Amino acid sequence: MSDVSNGDERIKATSKFRQALMRPELGGMVGTVAVFVFFGLFAFDSGMFNSQGVMNWSVVSAQFMIIAVGACLLMIAGEFDLSVGSMIGFAGMMIAIFGVTLGWPMWIAILVTFVICVAFGALNGYIVVKTGLPSFIVTLATLFILRGFTIFIPQTLERKTIIGGIREAAEGDWLAPIFGAEIGKPIFVWLGDMGIINVFERGNRAGEPVVNGIPMLIVWALGLVIVGHFILTRTRFGNWIYAAGGDADAARNAGVPVSSVKIRMFMFTAFCATVFAVCQVMEFGSAGADRGILKEFEAIIAVVIGGALLTGGYGSVIGAALGALIFGVVQQGLFFANVESSLFRVFLGVILLAAVILNTYIRRTITGER
């Protein structure tokens, strides 16, 4: 075995470039740089990079990020959740029903909604784990079931599918601002006074900065990304997530509680969808039965752009966050650059295909073509 211990002469030394290619975030990083360069060149004067513009695409990116973190960890654990979009609509509607129709205190409405939605996530996971059916099918069923309830319940109770008055109901509540408030207002006032960001020039808000603070939505997004990344890369549970998605049988044989890991990831995905929903209803002040449609696919696309494999076992939360950022910047950037917005979908399709092809290549490199 002596020659083995000296390394195998048939394995070529891998270049730094190839090693960098192994990092799942690479595609996301390159893509992020590319979209910023692109819009920096073609839309710099459009207002995309002044304070309002930055806030505009940051909020959109943060929305994608929140659901992408959940979808990312779940995909690495080897499963999909197609019910994310319906869950967003459902959660928002539940808050409106509890908080407005039934008149519960907003914090109770929010907490009960979280419990119900996470329980649905657990049910998704439980069915997938117990039946061994593809999560694709199980959560497709949940997609329709939840969407159906989201339309049926308000129609039965209120004879309408949009329920407003949430902002008024949340007035003075202690929990609602954690999802709906803006923080750092004094900093923005100061920035406005210093002339670094724009201020309103007339009207009853004259002198106030055009950007009032950082919405809690963005704080949630960054918080979830940091926590998700930490759990995945730095904890024992993170190793179990990789293992459950890489090869569930092998993981089980090594003593990893695969079923419990997967169910928890479904619950986490539902949690992220609910965070999204609460932030959204607090921002809009209303809940609509059509909210969140197609969000599940947008989350999955962000995750795939971020370098995760559709087959599980490989990926990165940071990558998914960058995927969400690319998503948000391009969607809003096309608007700023005055490009027909339907072209955004063309872009999505193209970049999704490119990302999947790149990821497949990377996987082959890692596993030595197997």
Partner 1 sequence: MSDPIIQMKNIEKHFGSVIALAGVSVDIQAGECHCLLGDNGAGKSTFIKTMSGVHKPTKGEIVFEGKAMNFANPRDAITAGIATVHQHLGMIPLMSVSRNFFMGNEPIKKFGPIKMFDHDYANDVAMAEMRKMGINLRGPDQAVGTLSGGERQTVAIARAVHFGAKVLILDEPTSALGVRQTANVLATIDKVRKQGIAVVFITHNVRHAMAVGDRFTVLNRGKTLGTALKGEITPEELQDMMAGGQEMATLEGSLGGTV
Closer CB to partner 1, residue 341 or residue 360?
360
235 is a site residue for partner 1 (CB under 8 A): yes
Rounded CA-CA distance 318/224 in Å is: 11
CB under 8 A: which stretch of 172-180, 217-225, 307-315, 326-334 binds partner 1?
A: 307-315
The CB-of-342 to partner 1 minimum distance in angstroms stands at 37
Asked if 367 touches partner 1 (CB under 8 A), the answer is yes
Q: Which is nearer to partner 1, 213 or 246 (CB)?
A: 246
Q: Which of 37, 187, 196, 250 binds partner 1 (CB under 8 A)?
A: 250
Rg (CA), the chain: 22
Q: Which of 16, 159, 202, 370 binds partner 1 (CB under 8 A)?
A: 370
Q: Which is nearer to partner 1, 176 or 256 (CB)?
A: 256
With binding defined as CB under 8 A, does residue 202 bind partner 1?
Answer: no
Query: Does residue number 253 form part of the binding site for partner 1 (CB under 8 A)?
Result: yes
Options 46, 101, 212, 239; binder of partner 1; rule CB under 8 A? 239
Q: What are phi and psi of 214, to 5 degrees?
A: -90, 120
- When binding is defined by CB under 8 A, the residue of 132, 201, 236, 340 that contacts partner 1 is 236
254 binds partner 1 (CB under 8 A): yes
Report the alpha-carbon distance of residue 277 to residue 161 in Å, rounded. 16
Amino acid in position 21: L
Strand-pairing partners, residue 199, are 209
Asked if 160 touches partner 1 (CB under 8 A), the answer is no
Cα 187 to Cα 258: distance, rounded to the nearest angstrom: 46
Residue 22 CB, shortest distance to partner 1, in Å, is 8
Instruction: Please select the residue that binds partner 1; options are 114, 314, 327, 335, rule is CB under 8 A.
Output: 314
CB of 313 to partner 1, least distance (A): 5
> Which of 22/34 has CB closer to partner 1?
22
Largest CA distance in the chain: 82
In the complex, least distance from residue 358 CB atom to partner 1, rounded to whole angstroms: 16
The candidate with the shortest Cα–Cα distance to 231, out of 76, 84, 80, is 76
CB of 135 to partner 1, least distance (A): 19
Query: Which one of 33-41, 104-112, 182-190, 230-238 is the stretch in contact with partner 1 (CB under 8 A)?
Result: 230-238
For residues 6-20, b (16+ Cβ closer than 10 Å) or e, as one string?
eeeeeeeeeeeeeee
Please select the residue that binds partner 1; options are 164, 223, 246, 285, rule is CB under 8 A: 246
**Cα 191 from Cα 239, distance rounded (Å):** 43
Is residue 99 involved in binding partner 1 (CB under 8 A)? no
Q: Which amino acid is at 330?
A: V
- The distance from CA 325 to its chain's CA centroid, rounded to whole angstroms, is 10
Q: Say whether residue 132 binds partner 1 (CB under 8 A).
A: no
Rounded Cα distance, 222 and 319, in Å: 13
Could you identify the residue written with the tokens 């407005």?
A: 100
- Told to check if 12 binds partner 1 by CB under 8 A, we report no
242 touches partner 1 (CB under 8 A): yes
255 CB contacts (<8 Å, ≥6 apart)? none
252 binds partner 1 (CB under 8 A): yes
Round to whole Å and give the CA distance between 266 and 84.
10
Task: Verify binding: residue 247, partner 1, rule CB under 8 A.
Answer: yes
Contact 283, 215 (CB under 8 A): yes
Q: How far apart are CA 259 and CA 239, in angstroms?
A: 14
Query: How many CB atoms are closer than 10 A to CB 301?
Result: 23
Q: Contact between 251 and partner 1 (CB under 8 A)?
A: yes
Specify the residue, 307 or 328, whose C-beta has the smaller distance to partner 1: 307
Q: Does residue 259 touch partner 1 according to CB under 8 A?
A: no
Tell me what percent of the chain is helix, strand and coil, each rounded to the nearest 5.
Answer: 70, 5, 25
The residue ranges that bind partner 1 (CB under 8 A) are: 1, 4-8, 11, 14, 22, 234-236, 238-240, 242-243, 246-247, 249-256, 309, 313-314, 363, 366-368, 370
